[in-house]
Amino acid sequence: MRIDRGWWVIFTLLAVAVFAVPALAQQPAEPSSAAPAAPAATPTTPPKPKPKPKPAAPKPAAAPAAKPASPAAAAAGGAQPKLLGQYGEWGAYTASPAGKKVCFAIAKPTSSVTNPPNRPRNPVYTFISTRPADKVTNEVSIIIGYPFKPGTEASADIGSTSFALYTQQDGAWIKNAADEANMVSAMRGGDTMVVKGASAKGTQTTDTFTLKGVSQALDRLAQECK
């Protein structure tokens, strides 16, 4: 089954929330390097003393502000991903965007190569999602970090087996839905998955994902999303 665009947007936002790096704390300002100002001249006539101000009435303590949700979580229907377990490079998570529970395993590639080299890209992720409300189990999706060249396929090589991937915008899914279970089985028993594709600008990409820990992550999803 191919993921619909609404879920694709949500998964993209959940990936941002999962891998978001907290902003650095603001550093204290450096002392000014300007020369100190000269002291003011002493007035010839002493100033008149000012009357002491009346003490102001104490203000009631303000209630602590609620911690805002991350922008990505807010955009994904208020869903904040909850880590179920980390297994090697694969994290198992659950979330409930718009009240629909979803469980997913997610990982980033251990290496990424572009040809021509050093072409800029957005982050790359592989999702394996289970959505009980949609009766979807272990659906493989790849966020590739750039718009694919329209009308082209990508590939995912696991060991000696190659799986053709349908592409649309920045996403890729198994082309033949009947092969998805075979792909997941190959991921469980494999060492690496190598994803190759081409961008709309002609850049060739090769992303390598380690598969160590994916079996444990999927087993944890099966316990959480039955």
Give the DSSP per-residue string, 55-118.
Answer: PPPPPPPPPPPPPPPPHHHHHTTT---EEEEEETTEEEEEE-GGG--EEEEEE--SEEEEESTT
The mean of the pLDDT values for the chain is 79
Q: Is residue 161 one of the residues assigned to a domain?
A: yes
Tell me, yes or no, if the pTM score tops 0.75.
no
Q: Is residue 110 one of the residues assigned to a domain?
A: yes
Q: Which residues contact 11 (CB under 8 A, 6 or more apart)?
A: 3, 104, 127, 129, 141, 143
* Measured distance CA(187)–CA(103) in Å, rounded: 18
Q: Is residue 68 one of the residues assigned to a domain?
A: no
User: What's the domain count of the chain?
Assistant: 1
Mean pLDDT value across residues 201-209: 97
pLDDT digits (tens, 9 = 90+) for 3-41: 555 565 676 777 777 766 433 232 333 333 334 444 444
Domain containing 190 equals: 5-15+73-224
Q: Is residue 95 one of the residues assigned to a domain?
A: yes
Instruction: Provide φ and ψ at 183, rounded to 5°.
Output: -65, -45
pLDDT digits (tens, 9 = 90+) for 162-191: 999 999 999 999 999 999 999 999 999 999
Q: Is residue 26 one of the residues assigned to a domain?
A: no
pLDDT of residue 226: 82
Q: Is residue 144 one of the residues assigned to a domain?
A: yes
At residue 78 the predicted structure's pLDDT band, cuts being 50, 70 and 90, is low
Q: Is residue 45 one of the residues assigned to a domain?
A: no
Q: Is residue 31 one of the residues assigned to a domain?
A: no
CATH number of the domain that residue 188 is part of: 2.60.40.1880
pLDDT of residue 62: 43
pLDDT digits (tens, 9 = 90+) for 92-151: 999 998 888 999 999 999 999 999 999 999 999 999 999 999 899 999 999 999 999 999
